[in-house]
């Protein structure tokens, strides 16, 4: 198991995958720079969940992104009907999961606040997921000038196209998923929480590459 790392700096991600939580789980504080350029084709506004017949990507639509636009300035587009799609998607995917009723209402409450900016939605959902895991981790969203060099920097590490880097920290450990005969690794943390509840941390510990 990794030693305790007091401070980790990370990207702002939407309902991050399991590999993210393995990367930060030994930390006491997570810092998310608000003035970091948004990462394209990343998990910044996308999360993977498991539906009846396939893996589904839930995507939060945002208003046109400029080159090097800072994450703090990215606004969510509520003109598109994504909110209902995501809530119905979570209900459809996990409504029969053993721990759905323990977590869903709190997640729904965050969504229904209709945060204007993506970074605020991501922060609130991450805060909630850390609470669900019962991790005593401080989460800070601040500008880069306001923090010193962290003990660990994982910006850019948890990205759909950086599979080799991800595999340096994450070794899938199977758990009971709702759909399909074949286990699907590294889905959003909500998949693990809804399916395993209080066993989620144990699964994460067993999915951590230690050498």
Residue 160 confidence (pLDDT): 87
Residue 85 confidence (pLDDT): 94
Q: How far apart are CA 125 and CA 90, in angstroms?
A: 14
Residue with tokens 């598109």: 80
Q: How far apart are CA 188 and CA 23, in angstroms?
A: 14
Residue 2 confidence (pLDDT): 52
3-state secondary structure of 158: coil
**pTM to 2 decimal places:** 0.93
Q: How far apart are CA 209 and CA 19, in angstroms?
A: 10
110-126, pLDDT tens digit by residue? 999 999 999 999 999 99
Token pair listed for 18: 């399991």
146: left (phi over 0), alpha (psi -120 to 50) or beta: alpha
Residue 161 confidence (pLDDT): 82
Q: How far apart are CA 203 and CA 102, in angstroms?
A: 18
Instruction: Give one DSSP letter per residue of 101-126, joined into a string.
Output: HHHHHHHHHHHHT--SBHHHHHHHHH
Residue 1 confidence (pLDDT): 44
Residue 92 confidence (pLDDT): 92
Instruction: Count the residues in the chain.
Output: 211
Task: Compute, in degrees rounded to 10, the torsion defined by CA atoms 85, 88, 90, 94.
Answer: -150
134-170, pLDDT tens digit by residue? 999 999 999 988 888 778 899 999 988 877 666 688 9
Extract the residue ranges of the chain whose pLDDT is less than 70. 1-4, 164-167, 211
């Amino acid at each position: 198991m990794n030693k305790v790392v007091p401070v980790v700096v990370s990207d702002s991600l939407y309902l991050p995958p399991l590999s993210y939580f393995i990367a930060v789980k030994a930390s006491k504080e997570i810092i998310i720079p608000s003035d970091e350029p948004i990462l394209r084709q990343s998990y910044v506004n996308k999360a993977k969940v498991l539906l009846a017949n396939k893996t589904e990507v839930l995507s939060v639509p945002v208003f046109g992104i400029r080159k090097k636009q800072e994450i703090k300035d990215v606004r969510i587009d509520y003109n598109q009907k994504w909110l209902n799609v995501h809530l119905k998607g979570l209900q459809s995917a996990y409504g029969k999961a053993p721990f759905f009723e323990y977590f869903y209402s709190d997640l729904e409450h965050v969504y229904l606040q209709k945060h204007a900016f993506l970074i605020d939605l991501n922060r609130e959902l991450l805060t909630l997921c850390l609470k669900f895991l019962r991790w005593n981790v401080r989460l800070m969203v601040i500008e880069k000038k306001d923090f010193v060099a962290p003990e660990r920097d994982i910006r850019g590490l948890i990205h759909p196209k950086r599979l080799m880097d991800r595999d340096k920290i994450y070794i899938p450990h199977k758990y009971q998923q709702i759909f399909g005969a074949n286990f699907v690794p590294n889905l959003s943390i909500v998949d693990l929480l809804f399916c395993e509840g209080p066993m989620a941390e144990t699964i994460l510990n067993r999915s951590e590459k230690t050498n």
